[in-house]
Structure 1
Amino acid sequence: MDVEIQHRNTLISFGALSGAGLILAFIRTWKWFSRSGRDIIDLPTIGKFILYIFGIIGTVLLLVTAGVSIYCLIVFKRQYDDSFLTNISALENLLRIFLIVAFILKTIDIIHLIIRQSTIDIFFMDWERPKADNRNSVSVWRTYFAANELNEIQTFRRINVSFQLFLVLLVLKVINLENIACAQIEISVFSTNVCNREYVLIFRTAIGFLTLLGTAIIQYLVYTIFYQRFIEDKIINFIDLCAVSNISVFILDGNYHGYYIHGRSPHGMTDVNMKEILRNLYREENRMSGTRGLQNNSDEQIFIVKINRQFRRKYASLFQNYYNFNGPRKMREDFERYTNILLQSYQDLNIFLCGFIDHSLPSHEYVIRNRFFLEKILNYEFRAPPKSNFEGQIDNLLFVDNEKNFTNIFFYGEESTLFIWNIITFLFIDILARNYVLAAIITYIVNSIFVGIRDSFGRKNLSKKTLIPKNFLI
């Protein structure tokens, strides 16, 4: 084995993939820059670019490490001799450095992800009509229920980390796939022989990566092909709940970019008794009522939103009175005024957003269109060429979101990023301790800590941005 050639090829692969990663980081920064409405490249823009580079380089380091390890396992396992460990030590040290750096960079990327998802603007729009012309007669419980359902799916993932790690240990320690990494040619997977020599680190990395990847793919396919179709799809269930509750969700993940989930009930009112609810569902099932979509005779409920500066200023101003008064001390000193401001702020924002969707605000009109093929590829929405002088003045746009891009505000939509981080954590611990069991335990603990942080920050942000008291989010 020519270690120098493998060492050089590893560095070349890292350099080539890093170059492509820089281009990808530039594209992501450009999209963020545009959606944030910035006019110049400032420090936050440079900071975003660096953070995107960190995440991409962390992924590149994992791919290079895994690729080199798998190649060595396939090519050199059968050619193993006593000089192998001496020859491979320099390459193993390089891959060890790669994994350490990858873990640091990807952990920073996950922190960045949590901050992004925990600082979005979100509001629950209530379409329910007040009874007897009393705007305060509308019950808030439907809004609270929808908010709690959204709070529950913030950290939901298609790949269950606990179950995956259990499968990994089952394959590696019970089925003895770990034996392949032993420094003995005659040791096989189902061999009853005990590995009397040390495990080759580069082989352990390859086996660990392949096992993690295989178990994740199996779990992902089972979820997408079977579970979400025949048992439960949490995302679709939440959208259905919004329609049944007469609640829409307006989300802004950037200054001028976000998502809209249309939950307006075709029956007008949903704060009714059990008999009326069942009757409404029966009418929908038998096509005896209107559709749930935003447009006439349409079932499209999910949209990507691009708004202008005027809309954003109005949206922020409606929160201003509440934010100026908000605080535990002020609430204790004048609870009555606090609750009045809270209610008034919620109602004003609800009226504004419902009026916007209903086309009843002439100064805040919008148009709806499908995304072009290139827009779907880049996951970026361009300004459509105007069809008339009137449309040319409208720069609030709604794009049909058939791909459910709004899940990017949840862990659900960032599955690949989180999965890569879990793999890096597992391999990072194993390359230091050479113990798959310890790697699985620490991976589980670290993942649970970050899930807890995301839960806490997400719940706090949900309460702040939706004007729902935190003690009602369970």
Structure 2
Amino acid sequence: MVWPIPVWNAGLNGITNPISSTNALRRFFLVDGISGRIGNISNPPTYITVATSLTLSVYVTTGATWDQPPFQLTIQYQRIPSISRTAQVSFAVTYSQSQGTYKRDTDIALAILGSLAGLYAILETSSWIRRSGQQNIGIMVIIKFLAFLSGCLANTFFLITLGTAIYWLIAFKGQSSAVHVTLPPAGGQVETDFIIYLSVAFALKTLELIHLLVTQLTVSIFLIDWEKTKEKIISGLQEKSHASIWRTILVANEWNEIQTVRKISPMFQLFSVLLLLEVVGLKNIATKDLSLNLNPPIGTYLAPWSIILRYGIAASMWLAVGILQVLFFIVIYERFFEDKVRQFTDLCSLSNVSVFILTHRCYGYYIHGRSVHGQADVSMETMLINLKKEEENLCPLRGLEPSSDIQTFEVLLSDRVRDQYEKIIEPLYEAPRGHRKMNENNSLMQQRIKTYHTINRFLSSFLDHVYREMDYIVKDKLFLEHILNMEFQQPVERTFFFNDDSARFSRSLFYSNELVLLLFDTLLFCIIDLGTQNFMLATIITYIVQKLVEILRYHIGRKNVSRQTMVEENFLI
């Protein structure tokens, strides 16, 4: 089939050349030596007009028929004053395609996913209101809703940008010779929207990370010591010796250590992604041609980078390496090497110390560390004998209930228990921590010690069902409650302890928030590369930001642990 090729003279018609314009010409010339002759045609020309730029535009249809001419030749001319001078001539072929359907599909996806994100943010806010015991909608509820909404919308924009990039990778790079799908033009509406969506996703994910840090750095945590005082006979007199504080310090140190534990290794993540992109050469797939050569020879022509394809390759590799690390950590490393979260629960049992965590006003977690042997401040020989008894099932189970070995629980406190807890702990926050002298005559220190023992007695008595008006029941969560991460029944008269064999208390740590951290790292790496077009620089900056976030979480979290558990910060090493 023979197609007519309209000619667009950029000097006559302007640079903007709609491919379907009716002002196109039918003929063109490459060199004009006649127009520059003045006076007589036999006179030498004062200048020569040369076609210095020829661009053949090919319009690729998305349907069975063409709604406009498939070809157009755009020519730019230049006057050369001297016949002896040379001119640089360029020829290029560009492909274009209607992007209307892609824009429409993206808008539909954004509307649907954005609506779902808004609904999920409302559910999260409703759960927070229930767990915080809020009765009215105030400024704090609005702030929480916006924080939850930012996280949901960040995931929405990330899914849209990632889906768009992967689509263009498969649809464009999957072509062999005949071109049926073209990339969006540089600076066009599709690429501009893509950059905006990616920037918005990063900004919202940053807000979600800040909200996560603020939430984790303000949790209330108390270590319940179950150890009883010992009676000793000294010089014929019976005296009581207090339990050692070192077991509590040991548990506080271990909690402080696991605050920043993640399911992936950030250093391995950065090294692997950089290796795949730069050394293996996957970055070369992001060019604007159909080449899939990972290591093109030196000196060969390299097409310009495509922003969309470059993001698709970088984000895909980052997520792939991250997901593989998480799977390896869960399936292999935790099972056969080390599970720090489960080990922390075992340490609590060996130390005879329970952990009471409140992430909301009336909601939190409880780790039952009460020793089944009664005491943990014993000799090495006695401890080994006790462990042998547990191994041979010669002693009760470690669980909170006699017939259960479940040690971790989700807690939904009644208002009465929470009010009593706040009343007891209030003097602790009123007493300033500037006094460091370990002097028994120091009234502030005595007040802190008295408050500590009062809280310890109250919580231990509460767990032993001493207070009938502040009792609790242990139950399982409904399946839908697990899915929606909220509780349907409110603890009006009794507190609820929900069995938790999945150690959900790790939600107050980095450990169970790997998705937020992984997506933040992905967006940070890609947004830096978007601005610099340099994977090495993006790797360095991402590593620096990762370390800053980890240091911030560790040091402020350490101060919070010291303030909440009354273990001096000097002992948290």
Into which bin does the TM-score normalised by the smaller protein fall?
Answer: over 0.9
Amino acid at match of 2:540: I
The answer to whether structure 1 residue 286 and structure 2 residue 392 are counterparts is yes
Residues 273, 192 of structure 1: CA spacing in aligned structure 2 closer, same or farther, 3 A cutoff? farther
Question: Do the aligned partners of 1:331 and 1:338 also contact (CA within 8 Å) in 2?
Answer: no
Amino acid at match of 2:263: R
Determine the structure 2 residue equivalent to 1:90: 189
- 1:403 alignment partner, SS class: coil
Amino acid at match of 1:189: L
Mapping of residues 73-472 of structure 1, within 5 Å: 73-77=169-173, 78=175, 84=183, 86=185, 89-132=188-231, 137-189=242-294, 191-192=296-297, 196-328=302-434, 336-383=442-489, 394-472=493-571
Q: Which moved more, 1:315-324 or 1:367-376?
A: 315-324
Question: Do the aligned partners of 1:187 and 1:195 also contact (CA within 8 Å) in 2?
Answer: no
> For 2:439 and 2:248, how far apart are their aligned partners in 1?
27
Question: Do the aligned partners of 2:415 and 2:492 also contact (CA within 8 Å) in 1?
Answer: no
Q: Deviations over 1:114-151 (max 9, x none)?
A: 00011111100011111128776110000000011011
> For 1:397 and 1:344, how far apart are their aligned partners in 2?
28
State the shift of 1:158 in Å: 0.3
Question: Do the aligned partners of 1:321 and 1:345 also contact (CA within 8 Å) in 2?
Answer: yes
Q: Deviations over 1:175-224 (max 9, x none)?
A: 11111112232342355466623211110011011101110111111111
Q: Which moved more, 1:187-196 or 1:236-245?
A: 187-196
State the shift of 1:2 in Å: 2.2
Residues 330, 448 of structure 1: CA spacing in aligned structure 2 closer, same or farther, 3 A cutoff? closer
> For 1:439 and 1:61, how far apart are their aligned partners in 2?
21
State the shift of 1:81 in Å: 10
TM-score (norm 1): 0.94
Question: Do the aligned partners of 1:179 and 1:195 also contact (CA within 8 Å) in 2?
Answer: no
- 1:418 alignment partner, SS class: helix
Figure out how many residues of one structure are paired with residues of the other and give that number: 467
- 2:442 alignment partner, SS class: helix
Q: Which has the larger radius of gyration?
A: 2
Amino acid at match of 2:112: A
Determine the structure 1 residue equivalent to 2:60: none
State the shift of 1:89 in Å: 3.5
- 1:259 alignment partner, SS class: strand
The answer to whether structure 1 residue 14 and structure 2 residue 110 are counterparts is yes
State the shift of 1:291 in Å: 1.1
The answer to whether structure 1 residue 43 and structure 2 residue 139 are counterparts is yes
Amino acid at match of 1:229: R
Question: Do the aligned partners of 1:367 and 1:394 also contact (CA within 8 Å) in 2?
Answer: no
Name the structure, 1 or 2, with higher relative contact order (CA <8 Å, separation 6+).
1
> For 1:195 and 1:291, how far apart are their aligned partners in 2?
71
Residues 345, 136 of structure 1: CA spacing in aligned structure 2 closer, same or farther, 3 A cutoff? farther
> For 1:206 and 1:469, how far apart are their aligned partners in 2?
48
- 2:110 alignment partner, SS class: helix
Instruction: Identify the match of residue 166 of structure 2 among 49, 66, 70.
Output: 70
Question: Do the aligned partners of 2:231 and 2:241 also contact (CA within 8 Å) in 1?
Answer: no
State the shift of 1:381 in Å: 2.2
State the shift of 1:90 in Å: 2.8
Question: Do the aligned partners of 2:474 and 2:496 also contact (CA within 8 Å) in 1?
Answer: yes
State the shift of 1:360 in Å: 1.5
Q: Which moved more, 1:359-368 or 1:78-87?
A: 78-87
Determine the structure 1 residue equivalent to 2:90: none
Determine the structure 2 residue equivalent to 1:5: 101
Amino acid at match of 1:428: I
- 1:86 alignment partner, SS class: coil
State the shift of 1:309 in Å: 1.4
> For 2:182 and 2:229, how far apart are their aligned partners in 1?
82
Amino acid at match of 1:29: T
> For 1:19 and 1:135, how far apart are their aligned partners in 2?
64
Q: Deviations over 1:370-403 (max 9, x none)?
A: 111121121222328xxxxxxx974211110123
> For 2:208 and 2:434, how far apart are their aligned partners in 1?
33
Q: Deviations over 1:392-449 (max 9, x none)?
A: 9742111101232211100111111111111111111111111111112111111111
Bigger strand share? 2
Amino acid at match of 1:214: A
State the shift of 1:62 in Å: 1.0
> For 1:160 and 1:395, how far apart are their aligned partners in 2?
43
Question: Do the aligned partners of 1:62 and 1:99 also contact (CA within 8 Å) in 2?
Answer: yes
Q: Deviations over 1:229-275 (max 9, x none)?
A: 00000100000000011010011111111110000111111101111
Residues 136, 362 of structure 1: CA spacing in aligned structure 2 closer, same or farther, 3 A cutoff? farther
Give 5+ residue unaligned stretches, structure 2.
1-96, 233-238
> For 2:186 and 2:222, how far apart are their aligned partners in 1?
60
Q: Which moved more, 1:124-133 or 1:278-287?
A: 124-133
State the Cα RMSD in Å.
2.2
Question: Do the aligned partners of 2:118 and 2:149 also contact (CA within 8 Å) in 1?
Answer: yes
Amino acid at match of 2:303: R
Amino acid at match of 1:202: I
Residues 175, 357 of structure 1: CA spacing in aligned structure 2 closer, same or farther, 3 A cutoff? same
- 2:285 alignment partner, SS class: helix
> For 2:156 and 2:386, how far apart are their aligned partners in 1?
52
Question: Do the aligned partners of 2:184 and 2:190 also contact (CA within 8 Å) in 1?
Answer: no
Amino acid at match of 1:74: I
Identity of aligned pairs, percent?
Answer: 36
> For 1:166 and 1:180, how far apart are their aligned partners in 2?
20
- 1:328 alignment partner, SS class: coil
Amino acid at match of 1:68: T
Question: Do the aligned partners of 2:356 and 2:365 also contact (CA within 8 Å) in 1?
Answer: yes
Amino acid at match of 1:149: E
Question: Do the aligned partners of 2:224 and 2:356 also contact (CA within 8 Å) in 1?
Answer: yes
> For 2:284 and 2:421, how far apart are their aligned partners in 1?
61
Determine the structure 2 residue equivalent to 1:387: none
